Structure 1
Amino acid sequence: MPEVKAAPSKMDAARKPDPPKPPLDARLTEQRNPRTQRIDQLSSLEIVDVINAEDRLVAAAVSDERQQIARAIDLVVDCLRRGGRLVYVGAGTSGRLGVLDASEMPPTYRTEPEMVQGVMAGGYEALLRAQEGAEDIPEDGARAMDERNVDERDFVLGIAASGTTPYVHGALKRARERGAKTGFLLCTYPSEELLQTHDVVIAPLVGPEVITGSTRMKAGTATKLVLNTISTGAMVKLGKVHGNLMVDLQVTCQKLQDRGERILMDTLGLQREEAEKLLGAAGGHVKTAIAMHRLGVDAEAARKKLEEKGGSIAALIGKPK
């Protein structure tokens, strides 16, 4: 008897690409994904599998940009050490991710709110409800840089998955005119002009989205990974991390109180009650508490010693074991 082949499943049908056609748009973020063209025919579990398969491409795409990301970290550190700021500029998902990363810095690393800022087209309202037209006005982006008095000490990173957002380009142009260092983060092929214009260009090529143009998906994930790496790398190099512990945190809630006490217990070999007492004497600042204990001084003297070492606990007491 001739062999009877099983009928193709819906998943097979969804993953079988149609013959390639020339893209209507050269931007990867706007192209159709041949692997998901029949996603509307899949079961819920099959949809999960298809999305997960696409998401697995993101980390590799970010890794391909490792040298550019490292370059961005060095630019940020140089600016922050000179009293400058890291300013993210974006619209839509890209802008919200910039605001999110910036907002995490004060509670995690005890930075001043002005040190890392997120600027997005449409302002605060756009965080909660899309203000799509706001991204089309480059003059508004330029005005945002003027309002923040961006200067030669600052690093401004434009974020636009498609690479074409007028608001972002307007902001970066004005930032450069004001003397700032600039970078661009996008998820499509960067133009030669873009590469020549900015101090660093980061372009993780995650490919077309599962749903065409929905850059909150793979492009958004890649963007968050890159921003996390840049800001975390900068904070590490600024001495706000000891080993892999966030020793520069300031206790502002019960969760951080517990974390601070555990850091002191781990690094100094203290019991919980001893750690709680020491942290209280340090005004809730973990790094100060470590310096107090290791040097046998009070909080004021510990803070002064830390300032003399540029805030680096390792420079003051040595590297962690």
Structure 2
Amino acid sequence: MVGPPRAVAELRTAVRNGLRAFPQPVLVACSGGADSVALAAALAFEARGRVGGVTVDHGLQHGSAERADRTAALLRDLGLDPVVVLRVSVGGDGGPEGAARSARYDALDAAAEEHGARIALGHTLDDQAETVLLGLGRGSGPRSVAGMVEDRPPYWRPLLGVRRATTRQACADQGLTVWDDPWNDDPAYTRARLRAEVLPLLEDVLGGGVAPALARTAGMLREDLDALDALAEAEFAALTAGSPDGSLPVEPLGSLPAALRRRVLRGWLRAAAVPDVQAVHLHSVEALVTGWRGQGAVDLPGGAGVVRASGRLLLLSAPDRGGRPDAPDDLEEPTRD
């Protein structure tokens, strides 16, 4: 008995375990490109009735509505049900790439909630490598260098171990028509230049294997970061136990390794619903522990603030601050070195 072509078999294998592990239905986010079409075909074959599809029309290119309708028709031909076309309005914040991404994910979040489904995304190993390079170049921290996560509800990325060339071959083997987005080759976009210029140059200089190596590095780093996060959660629980005001004791916090201490502080601020905490805010709050010189309140997004008083870090909400005093009356004296 002859099996499916090698590329088709690889796609089906990539989705099989994830389908078995989770009971809820799946919606494939499909742009009409080779990656998401190949994913849709693999899921349609393996799931046998538990998979639907969703395609997003950003309205940014001529003929986008007709193309979205053609993609929806292709998904229905594959046997997916339901199939939904989402028309979105793209704003201007974050540049064209960022704004389109925000609008797309907002629509996909809503679809996941409405249908009680996971959203399957067609990101490949090559996308992962590009994401790692972007994170390195922007210096945006280890989490961005650790790349995309395979399963982070409601999103599921089963193809992170599959090469982009394999998805294209799988589509060709099955006679599936795909759409090549011209924006993917437009050098005006950073990711397009990484794909067309930077990665090929690295492959040439380093003798090949760069994309798998970057993806492998992301996976190892993500394991380390997950372990640190778990340790930080335990430390946070211990430090806040028995603290009715949610304050943090400075002395034991200061004795933690920096990587744990910053994670505890970030978790503390997030637990208090402080929005958009950036590295600059985190380092300023940490300085109240490790670089204490009697400084006043650290200002945070949303109008909140953090002060050091009586050997503890106190979070002041925006309403509590009123006229934005620097600290409560019992602000401790700085240590004299």
**TM-score band, normalised by the shorter chain?**
under 0.3
Give the TM-score normalised by structure 1.
0.27
Give the TM-score normalised by structure 2.
0.26
